[in-house]
A and B are shown apart, each in its own frame.
Chain A
């Protein structure tokens, strides 16, 4: 219970502490590093707890839901918190290793902590309006981070990001109002119960569709994804890694939470629509990636394609497919952010991440090459790396359901992903013409490579020891899909004003 509170208090306290300390000092760097470590510890504790007990509920302020806000964590949320902690830790470590003390932007790390707070709150909350607030926290932090260190003409790519996400926020806000009108409450458990009591009510479907649009925008589904591919490349490397790993996945998490836990399970039409939209998105995403000629551009577009795998699994809507989606999220966050980090080190060595100028890295930085290769092949879903298992499970469910076209699309998307990764590999690592590999800052480069290596070992571990992760994912799917579980846990947690 305390651990849930810690997930919010730690990043907020860390952000405030860094702002009070001011500047990019040694002390604030220590705080920046300690905070994700502490969050990670709390998240691991939560995961262990929830694996046994299912839901863990913290009534915020001691007020019982739905009058107070229930913070509720199940294995799904706990797993997301763990992976978020890992990603933020890696991003922070990379950020610290990249520049010397006093040379970094003093607001970058505090804003990252705010971002972290918003992300954690989105995973923890069991209240629709509170989820809106969480989205606001993480969005406003992301707006700040996007423009913080971006100068010149690149900054114009931030504008569509802000505009489209602001539209998403407005829509979310309106939908929260509509949901209150229809259900008379905004707690997840209450909405689930009340929506279950009005079978076939068109209002439920409309709210589900609108919320799916809001979360789909956040997740990056076609045709709501335009804000993403051109804005992420303007971010500094560690921030791009954190954004790429976590922001869209908050949307995916919200979608899973919405359709598994909050909404009735009989919305087959909407599920199917999500699956088909995902099929289209995964192809368009990977095609967009292939059309790019610089590392961050390729990786950014790819996010869409991989997100669509998760939502495709959600659209199939069986316990196994949702477990596969959850597994895929965990894998993807680690792999994607580490690929951005690897791309950053490569760009640092080559002085650019434009594929036309890069080269020589397989000779100059073999370890980086090994890391890239492992992560890239994992992204493409080649066995026995972590990306394979999720895709395999999704294909199993899809073939079982007779969705051959969608399974075909997903396999094709995998092959095209491999193609786009080959593009980077052949140009940046294998080609031996032209490019200059700088030896400057070798110590820093080595430190950065270590960060990447740590992330790689994690993803390789997920691949080789897929069974425990898959079990967590299955348990997470089972708990998330249990319609009454959350309500029971919230009632059991009690709080002031519980009796109605």
Chain B
């Protein structure tokens, strides 16, 4: 068996198995445990093999590349430390699965999910402790957090579970992010993220930024291991089913922080801040945790706080460790894993049998289950450090090492001594309280009423743990040998640890006796006072504070969001425009040198033509725009704006651009007609414009300021940019090459339909889409949700056509003449002003004239086609020359010209650009007339869309807005 196989079996097999276990669990119910059990067992055996193969030295790094471009490898480091943790994780995992099989009986649901989470957790946990690459470690680290989140929230119907899960995830993932920053820093300091290489390279203490990296990394470890001030999440994680508490929240996951501190011990322990940071936090946690445990009454809460304090002790042990290495960390960890795991399982068994959690409600269980009592007694004995258990060894050695620390660490050492002695004393008190309160005394009524019995198999796992405590406690040489075998250079002192059952009468022993006696006294006092004072003061209910802060956070975010303006649509446009102005002012490099700017503006101004006509035209255009902004009533605004638009035509004409001028005037015409129809749909009161109240005065000035600033900015930028135009613009090229290359004399048209036909293709798509969008807007939702909509009041617009025969005749004549002209414009467009766009607009205007004569309903009846379809077909026609060359493997839109000899006209050059232009023509005619039809008809009181059109442009859930009109319907 290779190490790769060990990794595959221990990390990836359970990871992969989680899914199938969840799936199978749906049918298996509580028996799903037996499907899950093989995986921790396999992992344990594989790791045991790896441990045996270690031979005392540091193992090699094995694994696979993952994201090498980011320096992330799925490499694993198999050495004493990782194997030690791995064995604990998989071993306790197997016991917990067995235990859960009986704990999670038929009263629970979703067993498959539970075991899937458990396997996910175990795999992640093994991955984290075995990882060599720090990034891989981080990945697995966060995965354990997610698994823990899911497990805490397993009973998610309860509010407490959800809150506990949220708290745990936020604290551990949040501190995890700090750790990520620390990992990145380490990578940049040392140039590698591989633990193996880092450890081989020696300490990082002397490097710059090493302190920051260390602090960030430790932040992650403290969060995960519930160190002060993050201690509050762990007791709330007890909302999880008890097997989870036993496994994740005492034996394994919370030890990840301990693991990490041990891992980086050789890297940072010489840093000046290491002892201070680790020691202060850890020993503060030790005190806080044990005091809170003493003040708690729920069995699981006592155990949870005691776990917090013990984690502080384990981490603090590394904090004060000499630079040569520590000796007995494995002993302390193993001791805690065994007794705390056993006690949690006992607590779970008690809850399972009685549904009671509070020590005060329990009592007299000794008569119900002696076996449970014995296991508890052993575990409690180990917790308080009675001889014959590993707890004794752990406590004596801890005392021995801690008593010398004041000499080495000064005040910090004194804190350590006080914390260790004080917490041991308290531990003695609540250990006895647990055993005495639960098993001795009179059987409480609640127990008598609720006792449901215990399956003996459920007691097996805690018994195994308790047996471990005793066996290793009685024969410590076994443990010493194992510790020597798993020795990690750098972390552990080079000399082999020596463990004896009896150390003789030493200072530690005497101190220990004194502490136990004081603890007994404390317990006695508690018993005498009935533990009435055992209540956690509000100032220490940090979990409640956290929850309250989290709940209030949403409101705070709402306030910030309101402040940022995101809830005030009136402000938006002004803010956006203002931001653009500001960005240009700050970003422009000439902002500082006013002189240069003035010179450039002057140069730009000088480059313009300043004859009276141009100035006049520009002035009228500007006046029109100002009028549109200042005037109140809609028709006035429209006229003002149209003036601006029509006068721009002159501007184009002045610059010798007849095509643009023609287009502009036609577009203005059609737009004016369309908008007038739109206006007619609104009641006169709305047309008078909004009533600007007194409170709006500020808004008005603000908008004026923003508009003025933007206008000034654009004018300045425009003048500056044109002050020195580029010497070689591409524009003249088109004029020079339009005849030889594009075979058309009208450069504007050849640009539109040939050189840059892709732009035109896009723009006619825009037109078609705009038409469709408008048609969509004219519909409203049917049914209860569809309130609002635009309610059209009946307006007095002439509905039918005029009766004058002469007018009809003239209109028909003009219609034909205009359309003939349109086709002529289309045809000649390639060589002279004209083209599809202009022709389409002319044709559309001809329809407007006809409508005036015939009325909309009659016109629609006469024409008998849907102009919307015409537009769509137009797009198809225009797309044809775009797509056709591609069939031949040529670039899209490539032109083909043919010379046709047609008698009597002579030789004709026609080509695909003409086809394209015909498409443009059809699109423009179609859209303009469709919009005119729809708006015109509906304004005159007819249905905008006839039946078959409705299916084309509206969903079955829509109806045309006209139909909702009170008393509506066709006819005048």
Contacts and interface: CB of A to CB of B under 8 A. Distances in A.
Partners in one complex: yes
Interface of A: 1-2, 5-6, 8-9, 12-13, 16, 19-20, 22-24, 58-63, 66-69, 71, 102-108, 110-111, 114, 117-118, 121, 129-130, 133-134, 136-137, 140-141, 143-145, 147-153, 155, 159-160, 163-164, 167, 171, 174, 178, 180-186, 190, 194, 200, 202-203, 205-206, 208-210, 212-213, 217, 222-224, 226-227, 229-230, 269-270, 273, 284, 287-288, 290-291, 293, 362-363, 366, 377, 380, 382-384, 388-389, 392-393, 395-396, 399-400, 407-408, 411-412, 414-415, 418-419, 422-423, 426, 429-432, 466-467, 470-471, 474, 495-497, 500
Given A136-B762, A148-B776, A392-B135, 12 more contacts: A6-B886, A16-B875, A20-B872, A61-B891, A61-B894, A140-B766, A148-B773, A159-B569, A213-B579, A288-B560, A389-B70, A426-B165
7 contacts: A61-B756, A110-B772, A145-B773, A152-B788, A210-B584, A382-B146, A495-B891
Contacts of A136: 762-763, 766
B886 A147 contact: no
B655 interface: no
Nearest to B597: A202
A287 B555 CA distance: 10
Given A144-B770, A383-B139, A426-B162, A130 B759 contact: yes
Interface in B36-59: none
A471 B557 contact: no
Contacts of B561: 284, 287-288, 291
A134 to B, nearest CB: 6
A226 B572 contact: yes
Interface string B743-767: 0000000000011111101110110
Interface stretch (B175-183, B234-242, B666-674): B175-183
A152 B180 contact: no
Contacts of A181: 718, 721-722, 725-726
A210 B876 CA distance: 36
Contacts of A23: 951-952
B142 to A, nearest CB: 5
Given A16-B875, A184-B728, A288-B564, A5 B891 contact: yes
A182 to B, nearest CB: 5
B890 A497 contact: no
A152 B788 CA distance: 4
Nearest to A286: B557
Contacts of A174: 714, 718
Q: Which 4 A-B pairs have the closest CB atoms?
A: A144-B773, A151-B781, A184-B726, A184-B729
B177 A383 contact: no
B560 A9 contact: no
Contact of A399 (B178, B185, B731, B885): B185
A323 to B, nearest CB: 8
A415 B177 contact: yes
Contacts of A419: 170, 550, 553
A461 B166 CA distance: 27
Nearest to B588: A206
Contacts, number: 371
B690 to A, nearest CB: 14
Nearest to A467: B67
A106 B952 contact: yes
A155 B955 contact: no
In this complex, the interface size class of chain B, counting residues with CB under 8 Å from chain A, is 35 or more
A385 to B, nearest CB: 10
Contacts of A230: 566, 569
A20 B873 contact: yes
B70 A140 contact: no
B69 A288 contact: no
B651 interface: no
A23 B869 CA distance: 12
B565 interface: yes
B741 A496 contact: yes
A142 to B, nearest CB: 9
A206 B173 contact: no
Contacts of A144: 769-770, 772-773, 776
B695 interface: no
Given A178-B721, A224-B576, A287-B557, A111 B785 contact: no
B577 interface: yes
- Find the residue from A62, A363, A495, A500 having the highest chain B CB count within 10 A: A62
A135 to B, nearest CB: 10
Interface of B: 65-70, 110, 113, 135, 138-139, 142-143, 146, 153, 156-157, 162, 165-166, 169-170, 173-174, 177-178, 180-181, 184-185, 187-188, 550, 553-554, 557-558, 560-561, 564-566, 569, 572-573, 575-577, 579-580, 583-584, 586-590, 714, 717-718, 720-722, 725-731, 733-734, 737, 741, 754-759, 761-763, 765-766, 768-770, 772-773, 775-777, 780-781, 785-789, 869, 872-873, 875-876, 879, 882-883, 885-886, 889-895, 951-958
Nearest to B596: A202
Contacts of B65: 467
A274 to B, nearest CB: 10
A60 B586 CA distance: 38
A137 B879 contact: no
A425 to B, nearest CB: 9
Given A61-B892, A181-B725, A389-B70, A137 B557 contact: no
A478 B22 CA distance: 44
Contact of A418 (B173, B560, B756, B769): B173
Contact of A5 (B143, B170, B558, B892): B892
B156 A140 contact: no
Nearest to B891: A62
B872 A16 contact: yes
Contacts of B729: 180, 184-185
Contacts of A500: 733
Contacts of A58: 891-892
Contacts of B184: 392, 395-396, 399
A182 B875 CA distance: 35
Contacts of B718: 174, 178, 181
Contacts of A411: 177-178, 180-181
Contacts of B157: 432
Name the residue among B142, B717, B879, B892 with the largest chain A CB count within 10 angstroms: B892
B945 to A, nearest CB: 12
Nearest to A3: B886
A167 B67 contact: no
Contacts of B565: 223, 226
A466 B786 CA distance: 46
Contacts of A111: 769, 772-773
A416 to B, nearest CB: 9
**Which of B727, B733, B894, B895 has the largest number of chain A CB atoms within 10 A?**
B894
Contacts of A149: 776, 781, 955, 957
Contacts of B762: 118, 121, 130, 133-134, 136-137
A105 B576 contact: no
A167 to B, nearest CB: 6
A287 B560 contact: yes
Contact of B954 (A106, A145, A383): A106
B876 A160 contact: no
Contacts of B66: 466-467
A152 B787 contact: yes
Given A13-B883, A61-B894, A414-B177, A362 B156 contact: yes
A153 B788 contact: yes
A103 B951 CA distance: 10
Contacts of A9: 879, 882-883, 886, 892
A97 to B, nearest CB: 17
A449 B184 CA distance: 38
B773 A140 contact: yes
Nearest to B587: A209
A210 B110 CA distance: 57
B70 A396 contact: yes
A269 B583 CA distance: 12
